[in-house]
Amino acid sequence: MTERTLRRLLAKVRAGAIPLAEAVERLRGPAFEELGFAKVDHHRELRTGFPEVVYCEGKTVEHIIKILRQISRRHRLALATRASPEVYAAIARQFPQASYNEKARIILVGKPAPPARAARPVIVVSAGTADIPVAEEAAVTAEAMGRRVERIYDVGVAGLHRLLEHRKSLLGASAIIVVAGMEGALASVVGGLVEAPVIAVPTSVGYGASFQGLAALLTMLNSCAAGVAVVNIDNGFGAGYFAALITARGKRR
Minimal CA–CA distance to 23: which of 51, 1, 47, 45?
1
**133 occurs within a structural domain:** yes
Domain boundary at 84, 110, 136, which?
A: 110
Torsion-angle region of 82 (φ positive above 0: left; ψ -120 to 50: alpha; else: beta): left
**115 occurs within a structural domain:** no
Task: Kindly state whether residues 205 and 127 are assigned to the same domain.
Answer: yes
Task: Kindly state whether residues 62 and 142 are assigned to the same domain.
Answer: no
**7 occurs within a structural domain:** no
The rounded mean pLDDT for the chain is 88
Task: Kindly state whether residues 210 and 232 are assigned to the same domain.
Answer: yes
Decide if pLDDT at 85 tops 70. Answer: yes
Contact yes or no for 220/184 (Cβ under 8 A): yes
Count of domains in the chain?
A: 2
Q: Which amino acid is located at 70 in the chain? A: Q
**12 occurs within a structural domain:** no
Task: Kindly state whether residues 208 and 99 are assigned to the same domain.
Answer: no
Task: Kindly state whether residues 134 and 103 are assigned to the same domain.
Answer: no
CATH number at residue 203: 3.40.50.1970
Q: Cβ contacts of residue 188 below 8 Å, gap of 6+?
A: 219, 220, 223, 224, 225, 228
User: What's the confidence (pLDDT) of residue 27?
Assistant: 64
Q: What is the pLDDT of residues 154-181, one digit of tens each?
A: 999 999 999 999 999 999 999 999 999 9
**171 occurs within a structural domain:** yes
**8 occurs within a structural domain:** no
Task: Kindly state whether residues 196 and 224 are assigned to the same domain.
Answer: yes
Task: Kindly state whether residues 223 and 154 are assigned to the same domain.
Answer: yes
Task: Kindly state whether residues 127 and 197 are assigned to the same domain.
Answer: yes
Task: Kindly state whether residues 231 and 166 are assigned to the same domain.
Answer: yes
165 is in which domain, residue-wise? 122-252
Task: Kindly state whether residues 129 and 240 are assigned to the same domain.
Answer: yes
Decide if pLDDT at 252 tops 50. Answer: no
More confident residue, 119 or 70: 70
Identify the band that residue 25 occupies on the pLDDT scale cut at 50, 70 and 90: low
**13 occurs within a structural domain:** no
Task: Kindly state whether residues 103 and 135 are assigned to the same domain.
Answer: no
Task: Kindly state whether residues 106 and 126 are assigned to the same domain.
Answer: no
Prediction pTM value: 0.84
Q: What is the pLDDT of residues 44-61, one digit of tens each?
A: 777 777 888 999 999 999
**244 occurs within a structural domain:** yes
